[in-house]
Amino acid sequence: MPARSLLKWLAAPALIILFGVPAFLVGPGAGAPSSPTAAEEQVTEAWVARYNGPGNGGDVAYALALDGAGNVYVTGVSWGSGTDDDYATIKYDSLGNQLWEKRYNGPGNDHDQAYALALDGAGGVYVTGQSGDANGYSDYATVKYDGASGNQLWEKRYNGPGNDHDEARALAVDEAGNVYVTGYSLGSGTDVDYATIKYVQGPAPTPTPTPTTTLTLTPTPTPTDTPTPGPVGGIAELPPLAGISADQASGPADGPGWSAGDYALAGGLAAAAVIVAGAWYARRRWLR
């Protein structure tokens, strides 16, 4: 090949094929580092914030989020002091100043590693990952912090049906404050499965009271006393009339103990006295 043609070929970008696979481009402007653009030249380092955990061991960040005020939230795993690995969640302001740091050590005092972080519109900060349990395995562990103070508001753990290794890897929060967590979880005879959980925040629903049977009491009728014959209107019983007696033989007309013939005068006088008094007395025997 003439020298001029060879130089012309070298000046043109060329595609080198290695074993049928495009490998790289050679030639001016084809794969050679380009000079920084104007946009790249405007990128400068504003600040660097470093975090070394209390155990002075390995510290690895896995997730980051920003709020509307420019605050920065970071979470991951950090070697603790006597607590093995812990979640470590940190809030920085827009200038890189650390505002708070919160660590989470699970009930197994073992390996705890946060993988995901999310914020809600009310200032809540959520982290999730895997956390050692008391049996030497791991569970999902989702923790909510107050964004302003860093105080832990709640913690929820999930142990799958295989009672083995469960590890949450992603997290999201919707506008209603519902929290969604997903990852992998050992099943019961199904090996490793997806396990996606929704948590609903808010006051616990008020249980519907169980209706109670109201007993209807039927009032017992009050017995009515049968009045004993006696004076009416507070009038005293008249004494027997002197000199008047009644035959004690039973008479057919007036019932036991009375005789119509013997009763004519006495009955007439007694009846007159009772009627004048405004009441009628039951028949009675007149005694001397």
Task: Say how far residue 33 (Cα) sits from the centre of its chain.
Answer: 60
What is the predicted pLDDT for the residue at 146?
98
What is the predicted pLDDT for the residue at 228?
54
Q: What secondary structure letter does DSSP report for 282?
A: P
What is the predicted pLDDT for the residue at 217?
65
Torsion angle of the four alpha carbons 103, 126, 180, 128, in this order, in degrees rounded to the nearest 10: -20
Task: Say how far residue 117 (Cα) sits from the centre of its chain.
Answer: 24
Residue 14 backbone zone (phi > 0: left; psi -120 to 50: alpha; other: beta): beta
pTM value is 0.61
Q: What token pair was written down for 174?
A: 């919707």
- Nearest CA to 171 out of 125, 118, 124, 131 is that of 118
Give the mean pLDDT per block of 10 residues along the chain (288 residues). Answer: 45 43 47 69 94 97 97 98 97 98 97 98 97 95 98 98 97 97 97 98 74 67 60 45 43 44 39 38 41
Q: How many CA atoms lie within 13 A of 7 on its CB side?
A: 3
Place of tokens 């997903």: 182
Looking at the DSSP assignment, which residues form a beta bridge with residue 156? 142
Which helix (H) or strand (E) segment holds residue 267: the answer is helix 264-277
Please give the order of strands across the beta sheet that includes 179-186: 166-173, 179-186, 192-199
